[in-house]
Amino acid sequence: MLRKLPFFQTLSVLMFIACLVFFWQCVVHLVRRDYVAASMLMLIGISTLWVGGELAKLALAERES
Protein backbone atom coordinates (compact mmCIF):
# COMPACT_ATOMS: atom_id res chain seq x y z
CA MET A 1 0.00 0.00 0.00
CA LEU A 2 1.44 3.36 -1.01
CA ARG A 3 1.60 6.09 1.58
CA LYS A 4 0.22 9.46 0.53
CA LEU A 5 2.76 12.25 0.84
CA PRO A 6 1.68 15.18 3.03
CA PHE A 7 1.84 17.73 0.21
CA PHE A 8 0.50 20.81 2.02
CA GLN A 9 2.44 20.02 5.19
CA THR A 10 5.67 19.83 3.22
CA LEU A 11 4.92 23.08 1.41
CA SER A 12 4.07 24.90 4.63
CA VAL A 13 7.33 23.79 6.26
CA LEU A 14 9.28 24.93 3.20
CA MET A 15 7.51 28.30 3.27
CA PHE A 16 8.35 28.78 6.96
CA ILE A 17 12.00 27.97 6.25
CA ALA A 18 11.99 30.41 3.32
CA CYS A 19 10.51 33.03 5.64
CA LEU A 20 13.42 32.59 8.04
CA VAL A 21 15.86 33.03 5.15
CA PHE A 22 14.20 36.29 4.13
CA PHE A 23 14.28 37.58 7.72
CA TRP A 24 17.97 36.63 8.00
CA GLN A 25 18.72 38.56 4.82
CA CYS A 26 16.75 41.47 6.27
CA VAL A 27 19.03 41.50 9.32
CA VAL A 28 22.11 41.35 7.09
CA HIS A 29 20.92 44.38 5.13
CA LEU A 30 20.09 46.24 8.34
CA VAL A 31 23.67 45.71 9.52
CA ARG A 32 24.85 47.23 6.22
CA ARG A 33 22.37 50.12 6.82
CA ASP A 34 20.55 49.42 3.58
CA TYR A 35 17.11 50.25 4.92
CA VAL A 36 15.21 50.11 1.63
CA ALA A 37 16.37 46.58 0.84
CA ALA A 38 15.75 45.51 4.44
CA SER A 39 12.20 46.82 4.38
CA MET A 40 11.51 45.08 1.07
CA LEU A 41 12.89 41.80 2.42
CA MET A 42 10.80 42.22 5.55
CA LEU A 43 7.64 42.61 3.47
CA ILE A 44 8.54 39.53 1.43
CA GLY A 45 9.24 37.60 4.64
CA ILE A 46 5.89 38.58 6.16
CA SER A 47 4.10 37.63 2.95
CA THR A 48 5.88 34.27 2.88
CA LEU A 49 4.93 33.70 6.52
CA TRP A 50 1.28 34.48 5.72
CA VAL A 51 1.26 32.05 2.78
CA GLY A 52 2.88 29.38 4.94
CA GLY A 53 0.13 29.85 7.51
CA GLU A 54 -2.54 29.47 4.85
CA LEU A 55 -0.89 26.29 3.60
CA ALA A 56 -0.82 24.97 7.17
CA LYS A 57 -4.58 25.59 7.36
CA LEU A 58 -5.02 23.61 4.14
CA ALA A 59 -2.88 20.81 5.59
CA LEU A 60 -5.14 20.64 8.64
CA ALA A 61 -8.26 20.62 6.47
CA GLU A 62 -6.79 17.85 4.32
CA ARG A 63 -5.87 15.81 7.39
CA GLU A 64 -9.40 15.99 8.83
CA SER A 65 -11.07 14.80 5.65
Summarised one tens digit per residue, pLDDT across range 9-47 is: 888 889 899 999 999 999 999 999 999 999 999 999 999
11 part of a folded domain: no
7 part of a folded domain: no
- Three-class DSSP labels, the chain: CCCCCCHHHHHHHHHHHHHHHHHHHHHHHHHCCCHHHHHHHHHHHHHHHHHHHHHHHHHHHHHHC
- The residue range of the domain holding 58 is 19-64
Number of domains forming the structure of the chain: 1
24 part of a folded domain: yes
10 part of a folded domain: no
42 part of a folded domain: yes
Amino acid at 29: H
23 part of a folded domain: yes
pLDDT category at 2 given cuts 50, 70, 90 is very low
pLDDT category at 57 given cuts 50, 70, 90 is confident
4 part of a folded domain: no
